[in-house]
Structure 1
Amino acid sequence: MKVELVTSLKRQATKILADLHNSKEPVLITEHGKPSAYLVDVEDYEFMQKRLAILEGIARGERAITDGKVTSHSDAKKKMSKWLK
């Protein structure tokens, strides 16, 4: 992963962004020697957000199973048939 100082970002934003788009490698921005932010390509960010949404849905489903909030296949099919008309 590439690391850049915040002052470098201020001075060379266009070059840093061009490198980011070409390499698709995230850039860690540091401020006073400490991590401050990540720069990521827009497509990569959107992909990560979609993946996170899927994982959150899976986690909700697992919690529902653990809590006993389940529906039989036949009941689910009946409920879905209303939506599919």
Structure 2
Amino acid sequence: MKVELVTSLKRQATKILADLHDSKEPVLITEHGKPSAYLVDVDDYEFMQQRLTILEGIARGERAVEEGKVHSQRDAKGQMEKWLK
């Protein structure tokens, strides 16, 4: 992973962004020697957000199963038929 100082980002934003788009490698921005932010390509960010949404849905489903908040296939089919009318 590439690491850049925040001052470098201020001075060379165009070059850093061009390198980011070419390499698709995230850039860690540091401030006073400490990690401050990640700079990532737009497509990669959107892909990560989509994956996060899917993982959150799976986690909700797992919690529902653990809490017994489930329906039989017959009940679910009956509900779907009502909704689709």
- The count of residues paired between Structure 1 and Structure 2 equals 85
* Superposition deviation, residue 84 in structure 1: 2.7
**TM-score relative to the length of structure 1:** 0.97
Q: Distance in 2 between matches of 1:52 and 1:6?
A: 28
**Identity between Structure 1 and Structure 2 (%):** 85
**TM-score relative to the length of structure 2:** 0.97
Q: Distance in 2 between matches of 1:81 and 1:32?
A: 60
Q: Distance in 2 between matches of 1:82 and 1:22?
A: 51
Q: Distance in 2 between matches of 1:57 and 1:75?
A: 21
* Superposition deviation, residue 81 in structure 1: 1.4
User: Which residue is 2:63 aligned to?
Assistant: 63
User: Which residue is 1:33 aligned to?
Assistant: 33
Deviates more, 1:2-11 or 1:75-84: 75-84
Structure 2 unaligned runs (5+)? none
User: Which residue is 1:78 aligned to?
Assistant: 78
User: Which residue is 1:53 aligned to?
Assistant: 53
Q: Distance in 1 between matches of 2:83 and 2:40?
A: 39
1:29 aligned counterpart, secondary structure: strand
User: Which residue is 1:19 aligned to?
Assistant: 19
Indicate the RMSD between aligned Cα atoms, in angstroms.
Answer: 0.7
- For residue 79 of structure 2, what is the amino acid of its counterpart? K
Q: Distance in 2 between matches of 1:45 and 1:53?
A: 12
